[in-house]
A and B are shown apart, each in its own frame.
Chain A
């Protein structure tokens, strides 16, 4: 995906944050340490919580380390890139990877479509419907993934599910004891719906706030200039929302790439014959469930690398909006 190239036209043309920092690049000697000192509190938290685990992950990924090694039954041995070779030469890994990317893409698009539509709707309705919609969305957001997935599984249960009962009730006999998780695509569709259900509120709230933040004068000026609704959206709303939209997209990509709970719970660990596996569940089945920590760590490193790309884009877009890191 390409980084946005247009800055918000409403913002006065000013040098970006980074360039401003570069302009002040030659401070007096004594003040050089100040940035490092200021970073210290963050470093105290980040190094033990993030850097150290990642270091451990990398270390484990080049070792043959299973339960026998963890409890001291067998000595640990260095296998170099052996774990990586094993994964990358596994045909299933590649099919699961492409499946994960496809599923994440579907979820991101659907989440954005639902979230954006409802955000626009929020700006158009009265106070009471807005309150109802926001509360409902917050409830979906607040529901733990485990609970949400279980409840949705009940709804789509083959024998006792409300959905099948209702469909048969309105005369669609084909859905009598219909197994939604038998076919790969219907299973993905339902799990995708649950993922979207869990994540659209974030998109909706963020975009709603973004739309609200557009100054009324700008819209008013456009109206005075004779702009219709479409032009207003294309020339004003969309460009001013673009930074927020970018953040929301990248955040969704990261979330949906890492989906675990919904797949694991609803398809009972990856679906019939593993047809609904995504990368996280694959890593769990392949490695952690059988205590092959070295292999699991290697999958973790690969996932980390795949995720670093959208993360870098995310950080760049954060800077662009003025939220210096």
Chain B
């Protein structure tokens, strides 16, 4: 009898709970409903807090002063948010879930875009950008990374691409020139490792997705291909498998031994190359300062990563950051205007000088490349055409579940061959696209 009464109490409690509806999972009011277009007040801006952020803050502060003097009664409040992937994801989710405390303008990684759009967090700014004087100057391949289903949700602010860093001293000693094809690259790892058994031919990693993808793209493969308006996994296509095999074949005794390299991330390969432990590495332009701080300083040069065909350039991943207007923005017009100022030619050039990030405007790119010979291989790589991950919110899931690294690691450690590992990856990619 006591049990009966207890059950009744529980049932009553549950029923009250359901009726109150307060017990269902919290869902925010769609962000757009609270948006406004005030022409005065405080414009809230979130930018990434990067390594060496003081230089960035100085440039942004100048832009803020210029903007405030051009717009009377407007204050620009810039916060720098943690760039660590999970911290910034949490911060952005907070902004989406609570539109009333969301900023007006945000900087975000371009691979995050589809997820943010699906969450209803970003405003479409295509029409505003059409009126922007510098729009025609944007690199088209990079501009495409901010377009989803024909709608533009971001203004590309800067990009970073990877190229092949190599040790000039070791190459000269071995009588080699910089590799111009995949075969030459492999030959170089063998020759240098034969002379220096403690040196890795090339620093790569099993978790280095963006080091591996150029090999896949160069072979004519891709992560997924668009089939009509739907994505279809393509990582197990014959072309993709060729690319995966070329990358994973480098994890041998002469290249990067699996024991040491199977669990490396891209960041760790920078350390290896900077410490003088590797003869080559696939690193972004922004790694320059780190390499210069290590043993490899003054003993290296950079060329575009060669493709399989002699003289070709393997397509690089166009990583970078966009500026986006939040759907819940209270100052929509001002936010767009401030984004246009920051991404305009003047401040793009200053941002390059301060942070070493590559501009997204073609004219500024040419200008900084002329100014700094170091950049030429990177701008050449951009000019040869860059590629991108599937523009779909499924990418966030594919990335979080480490689908590509798992595939690479299975091959590198000999747990599976390329066909099996890429087949497993394709299954997971397909289910990620189906999950939306």
Binding site for B on A (CB under 8 A): 47, 52, 55-56, 59-60, 63, 65, 67-74, 76, 158-159, 177-179, 181-182, 268-275, 285-286, 289-293
Contact = CB atoms under 8 A, between A and B. Distances in A.
A47 B14 CA distance: 11
B118 A73 contact: yes
Contacts of B23: 52, 55-56, 59
B422 interface: no
B415 A73 contact: no
A59 B24 contact: yes
Nearest to B397: A290
23 contacts: A52-B17, A52-B23, A55-B17, A67-B119, A68-B119, A70-B25, A70-B28, A71-B93, A71-B121, A72-B31, A73-B30, A73-B118, A73-B119, A158-B260, A177-B259, A182-B258, A182-B263, A269-B402, A271-B263, A273-B413, A273-B415, A290-B396, A291-B89
Contacts of A178: 259
A275 B263 CA distance: 12
B379 interface: no
Given A71-B120, A273-B415, A76 B401 contact: no
Nearest to A64: B435
A243 B275 CA distance: 57
Contacts of B27: 69-72, 76
Contacts of B28: 70-72
A178 B257 CA distance: 11
Contacts of B393: 68
A271 B31 CA distance: 39
A244 to B, nearest CB: 31
Contacts of B340: none
Given A179-B263, A272-B206, A274-B406, A285 B400 contact: yes
A76 B25 contact: yes
Contacts of A56: 23, 25
Given A70-B28, A73-B30, A73-B118, A272 B397 contact: no
B222 to A, nearest CB: 21
A80 B415 CA distance: 36
Contacts of B13: 47
Interface in B2-30: 13-14, 17, 23-30
B14 A55 contact: yes
Contact of B401 (A55, A285, A293): A285
Contact of A67 (B93, B206, B402): B93
B96 interface: yes
Contacts of A177: 259-260
B97 interface: yes
A86 B116 CA distance: 25
Contacts of B399: 290
Residue in B17, B97, B119 whose Cβ sees the most chain A Cβ within 10 Å:
B119
A73 B327 CA distance: 11
Given A71-B28, A71-B96, 13 more contacts: A52-B23, A55-B23, A67-B115, A68-B118, A70-B27, A71-B93, A158-B260, A159-B260, A177-B260, A285-B400, A291-B93, A292-B397, A292-B435
Interface string B71-94: 000000000000000100100010
Contact of A179 (B260, B401, B410): B260
A101 B429 CA distance: 28
B119 A182 contact: no
B262 interface: yes
Nearest to B258: A182
Contacts of B206: 272-273
Residue in A55, A159, A271, A289 whose Cβ sees the most chain B Cβ within 10 Å:
A289
A158 B256 CA distance: 14
Nearest to A158: B260
A56 B118 CA distance: 24
A60 B27 CA distance: 12
Given A59-B25, A68-B393, A272 B119 contact: no
Nearest to A187: B263
A56 B17 CA distance: 11
A73 B26 contact: no
A59 B25 CA distance: 8
Contacts of B400: 285, 289-290
Contacts of A272: 206, 262-263, 409, 413
Given A179-B259, A182-B259, A290-B397, A68 B406 contact: no
